[in-house]
Structure 1
């Protein structure tokens, strides 16, 4: 299945350090503490992976095991080895029985994002389901699962998950854009118009907002207004050094075909 580059950009968002691991690991002068391992991920992820794996095998406390495993997963992700990272993150989240639900949910979400980057959307959605089970009032996990829904082409699921997110945080731009896209794909451009206009009220220069509003306007027969939106996407992208952004490329394609 062809992947949507706009949604893929969002999948990297939660592959970030873990607070619980940082608190649980002991400080030292070598790569056997969390921060030094994270620093090495930035400089040399392949070396960080090897050192984190060795640290994990030698870990004598639960805190060190969690920190080493999480850093190893981040190192794998930094190398583009997303499937292996996903399994590592998921197994880690399952093992973190002493951690707060907020931290376990983050790791389940990281597993979901890594599986999404690997193209396994079913596993990705499952992992986000585990995150939601532990943090049911956190909009970000519904948005994360909605990205996987979108990549899988399940627009009814996108609409459902983004609606759950917006029930918790009504002005979340990512959720508004995705629900607009879902309703448009499902044949409800008027409903799309409500969401995308709401998004544009506070994010009028965001490329994804303008791109989607142009598509909605085109579906409503407002072709001239749609072209203005797409021209703005290209102009704003060029003015901010993002001429090759996926949204700008898609806007140029639409301007050539509409």
Structure 2
């Protein structure tokens, strides 16, 4: 169903499968995590958050689930929850880039740009070519008035990951930058 573009039909079936299966906790958590991802694709972050929360009740230290729930929380505007999940994920796996990026994004949206910049620099120390980290650093640089630095980050994303979602967002940010302050 997901492959056919019907995430709103797939998600409840995945939830039902997780509830009815005799599989172990890790397998049930994985299926609930897939349900959460399907709800996100369906544009229903609240239902995604719920499914992923049930999955985390089964496997509370699953970094992937924590990241997914942070994404769902941010989509709902629950930035403190998003930060908390990304923070926990970064504590469980400090060498993983994604939690640092999501921490930074949550901090930026919570109007804590200096902390966000520290986290994004940590992400870039782990993976200097991460398109998502460069995109976020570009946003932070733009907010600090460093248009040249922002442009360099966004152009790097486009050059090195041209077919990525991050490149699409970087291109949009560059276009807004070109339009000037009155168009941002």
TM-score for the superposition, normalised by structure 1:
0.65
Equivalent of residue 107 in structure 1, options 24, 31, 47: 31
How many Å separate the matches in 1 of 2:156 and 2:36?
A: 33
Of 167, 174, 183, the residue aligned with 1:255 is: 174
Which residue does 2:134 correspond to in 1?
210
* Per-residue CA distance 1:65-88 (angstroms, 9 max, x = gap): xxxxxxxxxxx1110111111111
- Structure 2: distance between partners of 1:247 and 1:123: 25
In structure 2, how many angstroms separate the alpha carbons of the residues matched to 1:111 and 1:135?
Answer: 15
User: Alpha-carbon deviations, 1:174-223, whole Å to 9, x = none?
Assistant: 11111111111110011111110011112211211111111112222322
Task: State the shift of 1:171 in Å.
Answer: 2.3
Superposed displacement of residue 249, structure 1: 2.3
> Do the aligned partners of 2:137 and 2:150 also contact (CA within 8 Å) in 1?
yes
Match of 1:246 in 2: 165
* Aligned residues of 2:155 and 2:170 also touching (Cα < 8 A): yes
8 A contact 2:96–2:126 mirrored in 1:
no
CA contact (8 A) 2:113 2:140 kept: yes
**2:78 counterpart residue number:** 154
2-structure distance, mates of 1:246, 1:135: 29
Take 1:172 and 1:149, find their aligned partners in 2: how far apart are those partners? 20
Q: Deviations over 1:36-71 (max 9, x none)?
A: xxxxxxxxxxxxxxxxxxxxxxxxxxxxxxxxxxxx
Ranges of 4+ aligned residues in structure 1 off by more than 3 Å:
none
Matched, 1:83 2:83: no
SS of the counterpart of 1:78?
coil
Unmatched segments (≥5 aa) in structure 1: 1-75
RMSD: 1.4
Stretches of structure 2 that go unaligned for 5 or more consecutive residues are: 178-184
Q: How does 1:1-258 map to 2 (within 5 A)?
A: 76-96=1-21, 98-238=22-162, 242=163, 245-258=164-177
TM-score by length of 2: 0.90
Counterparts of 1:81 and 1:254, CA distance in 2: 31
